[in-house]
Structure 1
């Protein structure tokens, strides 16, 4: 992205009435302040403003192929963990954005290389990538960390979370909240089975940023696996192995300078 500002701002929103109205008001305010808001997503814009909840925020990044420009969210949803602003802060935001009163925070997504006998596909997750059995069946996964065998997991599945995603699905599974300034991945079990027949880790495992997590499924009933990335579910057949690691992509979030991650955690969870 060029350092020369074009003053083009992409505004995207979900279809909720409050989001559409916020989008209308925001576009008017931006244009009044000399910004150009295109009708279609412009890859040469300086900024994306996403209006909605956390789901809208994640979909915007996925649907636009993780663009290089920073993104900021206006919360018209429920939790709004990604979203920086409320609808009543539009004037304040435009004023502070023009002054440069913000910081850019880089995200560290997780990527999975999913391979069958015939081909491989790449999947990116901002929050997490989860591997689960189809039709809620128990799944058996041989898991290695780099070249070291870790465990034969049995249960509903495993989730590999980024620091950003540590407060999402990972947190509901009992995983750890991770400060986003740390570069690491977290492997969190989903309903692990620990009996005399099966032995699985029951807590999350923290691994360094340069690790590769290798997963080799064992099939009992049928040869399909669900892979869920940031809440979007895909069914794959005859997967032989899955390699997960930290992606080289660095999507950017624009944060106002007084943003504090741990204050956000307390505000949303306590």
Structure 2
């Protein structure tokens, strides 16, 4: 099996890379059948973004502190684990943000696109879905739209729902909503197009973030699912993403 290894810069990941590449070889990525990412969830997201045009399956092994998208690390029997792994295909979100200067920003997000206040005052947002205004004013610390794969990340910390893989649903979740009081958000179909307009942006500046790619002083953010991009993630049998999402709700 032709394996291409990628490792984060942590000492643990680099040591794992040295051991695994010495044992199994390290194939150039364009000749590989599978990518093995060594690190934590953040490095896994980076690997998925950087290799998305190749559409190769990616198998993560946890060498970091957070490993929801990762499998347990073990040096033994890697080719057998890769052959037996279960594949989950996910689509990212596409974000188009416009800054106060008129500049356009485009980014993809596997987990979520979030809008966050960037000053001492709460953000003031207007929300439209599929071109129809749904909330004329939301005063909050921020709001996000997440995929099922990202629903246990920032979304869950903000008390948003966990979404099953294959549910064809996006979550729109508010952070510390002040008006409407305690509004938590909404569930939307996967093909929904969400638009946030930033109100009073000069007084209440807002930043947009797509999987840790940040853009400041935005005045409008459009978010939609991108079905033409497919991320193929491999998990050990019985430990797939669907099982992990279910398990997370009972812990």
TM-score bracket for the superposition, by shorter chain length: 0.7 to 0.9
8 Å Cα contact 2:119/2:205 also seen in 1: no
Distance 1:191-1:107 versus aligned 2 partners, 3 A rule: same
Q: Over aligned residues, Cα RMSD in angstroms?
A: 2.4
- Unmatched tracts of structure 1, length 5 or more: 1-6
Q: How does 1:151-170 map to 2 (within 5 A)?
A: 151=135, 152-170=137-155
Partner of 2:116: 132
Distance 2:49 2:121 in 1: 28
Partner of 1:25: 19
Distance 1:200 1:160 in 2: 19
Partner of 1:259: 239
The C-alpha deviation readout for 1:37-69, integer Å capped at 9, x for no partner, is 33xxx3443221111111111122234456411
Distance 1:123-1:202 versus aligned 2 partners, 3 A rule: same
Q: How does 1:161-180 map to 2 (within 5 A)?
A: 161-180=146-165
Partner of 1:12: 6
Q: How does 1:30-45 map to 2 (within 5 A)?
A: 30-31=24-25, 36-38=26-28, 42-45=29-32
Partner of 2:225: 246
8 Å Cα contact 1:108/1:246 also seen in 2: yes
Distance 1:177-1:223 versus aligned 2 partners, 3 A rule: closer
The CA deviation at 1:251 is 1.0
Q: How does 1:47-86 map to 2 (within 5 A)?
A: 47-64=34-51, 67-86=54-73
The CA deviation at 1:191 is 0.9
8 Å Cα contact 1:162/1:186 also seen in 2: yes
Aligned partner of residue 83 in structure 1, secondary structure: coil
The CA deviation at 1:221 is 3.8
Distance 1:227 1:256 in 2: 34
Do residues 96 (structure 1) and 86 (structure 2) align?
no
The CA deviation at 1:243 is 1.2
Do residues 181 (structure 1) and 166 (structure 2) align?
yes
Distance 1:269-1:137 versus aligned 2 partners, 3 A rule: farther
Structure showing greater Rg:
1
Q: How does 1:213-252 map to 2 (within 5 A)?
A: 213-222=194-203, 224-230=205-211, 232-237=212-217, 239-248=218-227, 249-252=229-232
The CA deviation at 1:114 is 1.4
Distance 1:65 1:245 in 2: 18
Aligned partner of residue 142 in structure 1, secondary structure: strand
Count residues with an aligned counterpart: 247
